[in-house]
Amino acid sequence: MSRHGSPIPMTSHACGPLSGIANVPGDKSISHRALILGALCVGETWITGLLEGDDVLDTAQAMRAFGACVTDHGGGVWSVQGVGVGGFAEPDGVIDCGNSGTGVRLIMGAMATSPITATFTGDASLNGRPMGRVTDPLALFGAQAVGRHGGRLPMTIVGAADPAPVRYMVPVPSAQVKSAVLLAGLNAPGQTVVIEKEATRDHTERMLQGFGATVHVAQTDEGRVITLDGQPELIAQNIVVPRDPSSAAFPVCAAIIVPGSDVLVPNIGLNPTRAGLFTTLQEMGADLTYENLREEGGEPVADLRARFSPNLRGVVVPPARAASMIDEYPVLSVVAVFAEGVTDMQGVKELRVKESDRIDAMAKGLRAAGVTVDEGPDWWQVTGLGHGEVPGGVTVESRLDHRIAMAFVVMGMATQQPMHVDDGSPIATSFPVFEALMAELGAQIARDC
Ligand code: S3P
């Protein structure tokens, strides 16, 4: 159950062809960043197309607690009156980031170089996730963290009164860690340098530049080196949030596995740091095309057209692609079930520390539904059964993880027997209109309460 209410058991039944247009909500990663940078700039930032999911609403609330004036104008239009770099006030109460690892980690970074103290908490999922990956580099700036055993939330961060700039090699492929360090570097003098061996989503770098910070990115033998000049004056912006490729993944994959389907998912960002799923689906033989390919706000954007794909085959998904589709493995594993042969997903250790251990959550549910899954610490393999051959007919656990819930709901659209998900309430964190949007396309999803 999400912290906002009771569990919502759901059943997804096999359905006829999915068809129509799927207008998925705004990008979650970009929405968090727009609110946080809006709060750190001087002047009023206007945001259009903000994702109004619980994760982002929690970040909006947190920005208010740090002193920014955040206003919902309706219809996805929001404004943020910023307090300037270094201008965060000390919150009166505990900052509750709900289910959101991105929210808590980025906000910790953003406050860690100001002379204020804040205490963070979240739901049972978030309070089980590792924060040491963020507090370790924040300590180099001079911030102190005290949390529960194993670096877990609830946790208090005492911001550095006299921060030093940092040069930090990110030890795990994580845009959240990279972003926390960059946001902390905003209020440190001199240059903060972050090095990542593998490129992860680059929304923070892009948006910092958009707000007027000086950020240089260079590809070197060490990896991708990002250099930020500290203590800039960030200038208010108008931000149009593109639609979320990680949410687009669900109607796209549903169309690919449901016979006769033909779905258009317009205006999806194809930033290479986010588009790994779509490349993988094409390699599997999916009928997925990019229409109206164009550039918007410096990002490649296209309308995705996904049709039922009768001849899917298993593929090897290489470790180098993992960061660009890290949130899409649960739904990819569902498509793999309807393919012929084995889909081998490698270099995916990070999946074990997401909202749930996503390899374990998917493997248990898929096995219960009649699918063979093999796994190791950083890999897993799904043996496809082919279209029409997947039994289903079981209840699976979503484990407070929106993407696990949606992946199994998509699966039930093409299994022989319906799929039951014990709790669909986490879907509201990232895709609050999921059920309505999928129903509009022709899905048969019922709430069992
Ligand atoms: C995100 C980064 C990824 C991703 C998450 C959003 C971000 O996490 O899984 O949903 O917005 O920076 P990691 O940075 O931990 O890989």
CA 333 to chain centroid, in Å, comes to: 17
| Spatial CB neighbours of 75, under 8 Å, sequence gap ≥ 6 | none
- Spell out a b/e string for 204-239, using b for 16 or more CB atoms within 10 Å of the CB, else e: bbbbbebbebebeeeeeeebbbbbbbbbbebebbeb
Residue 41 within a domain: yes
Residue 297 within a domain: no
| Spatial CB neighbours of 36, under 8 Å, sequence gap ≥ 6 | 59, 63, 106, 107, 110, 183
Average pLDDT of the residues of the chain: 97
For residue 299, the model assigns a pLDDT of 75
For residue 399, the model assigns a pLDDT of 98
Same domain, 187 and 281: no
| Spatial CB neighbours of 1, under 8 Å, sequence gap ≥ 6 | 7, 400, 423, 425
Residue 265 within a domain: no
Domain containing 438: what range? 10-17+276-286+311-447
To test ligand 1's pocket by mutation, which of 35, 133, 201, 246 has the most ligand atoms within 8 angstroms of CB?
201
- 3: confidence class by pLDDT, cuts 50, 70, 90: low
User: What's the 377 CA to ligand 1 centre distance in angstroms?
Assistant: 19
User: What's the 344 CA to ligand 1 centre distance in angstroms?
Assistant: 22
Would the pLDDT of 381 be above 70? yes
Q: Per-residue pLDDT tens for 42-60?
A: 999 999 999 999 999 999 9
- Beta-bridge partner residues of 192: 228
Burial of 347 from C-beta contacts in 10 A (0-12 / 13-18 / 19+): middle
For residue 178, the model assigns a pLDDT of 98
Same domain, 207 and 91: yes
As a whole number, mean pLDDT of residues 180-188 equals 98
Same domain, 39 and 102: yes
Q: Which atom of ligand 1 is nearest to the CA of 327?
A: 9
- Pocket residues: Cβ below 6 A from ligand 1: 29, 102, 174-176, 179, 201, 326-327, 350
CA distances from residue 57 to 11, 61, 130 in whole angstroms, order as listed:
27, 6, 22
Question: Using CA atoms in the order 339, 340, 342, 348, what is the torsion angle rounded to 10 degrees?
Answer: -10
For residue 449, the model assigns a pLDDT of 75
Place of tokens 């919150």: 91
Q: Per-residue pLDDT tens for 160-178?
A: 999 999 999 999 999 999 9
User: What's the 201 CA to ligand 1 centre distance in angstroms?
Assistant: 8
Distance (Å, whole) CA 309 – CA 286? 5
Would the pLDDT of 230 be above 90? yes
For residue 260, the model assigns a pLDDT of 98
In the chain, the number of structural domains is 2
Q: How much of the chain, in percent, has pLDDT values that exceed 70? A: 99
Q: Per-residue pLDDT tens for 308-334?
A: 999 999 999 999 999 999 999 999 999
Phi, psi of 73 (to 5 degrees): -95, 5
* Contact of 182 with 194, CB cutoff 8 Å: yes
Q: Per-residue pLDDT tens for 261-307?
A: 999 999 998 999 999 999 999 999 999 999 999 988 777 899 999 99
The DSSP letter of residue 69 is: E
Same domain, 326 and 201: no
Same domain, 223 and 127: yes
As a whole number, mean pLDDT of residues 359-384 equals 98
* Contact of 246 with 51, CB cutoff 8 Å: no
Q: How much of the chain, in percent, has pLDDT values that exceed 90? A: 97
CATH number (domain holding residue 335): 3.65.10.10
CA distances from residue 68 to 15, 61, 90, 183, 426 in whole angstroms, order as listed:
46, 9, 11, 16, 27
Same domain, 73 and 213: yes
Residue 280 within a domain: yes
For residue 4, the model assigns a pLDDT of 55
Nearest CA to ligand 1 atom 9: 327
For residue 238, the model assigns a pLDDT of 96
As a whole number, mean pLDDT of residues 248-256 equals 99
Distance (Å, whole) CA 87 – CA 232? 12
Burial of 365 from C-beta contacts in 10 A (0-12 / 13-18 / 19+): buried
Same domain, 188 and 321: no
Residue 381 within a domain: yes
Same domain, 199 and 330: no
Same domain, 172 and 320: no
Residue 33 within a domain: yes
Place of tokens 């930033």: 271
Residue 110 within a domain: yes
As a whole number, mean pLDDT of residues 104-126 equals 98
- Please state, as a whole number, how many other Cβ atoms lie within 10 Å of the Cβ of residue 42: 17
Cα angle vertex 62, ends 325, 275, to 5°?
10
User: What's the 185 CA to ligand 1 centre distance in angstroms?
Assistant: 19
Same domain, 192 and 280: no
Which positions are annotated as active-site residues?
327
Residue 71 within a domain: yes
Same domain, 218 and 352: no
For residue 384, the model assigns a pLDDT of 98
Same domain, 194 and 54: yes
Q: Which of 230, 262, 297 is the last residue of a domain?
A: 230
Q: Which long-range contacts (CB under 8 A, 24 or more apart) does 213-221 make?
A: 213/186, 215/182
Would the pLDDT of 1 be above 90? no
Q: Which atom of ligand 1 is nearest to the CA of 28?
A: 11
Would the pLDDT of 2 be above 80? no
For residue 257, the model assigns a pLDDT of 98
Q: Which atom of ligand 1 is nearest to the CA of 354?
A: 9
Nearest CA to ligand 1 atom 11: 29
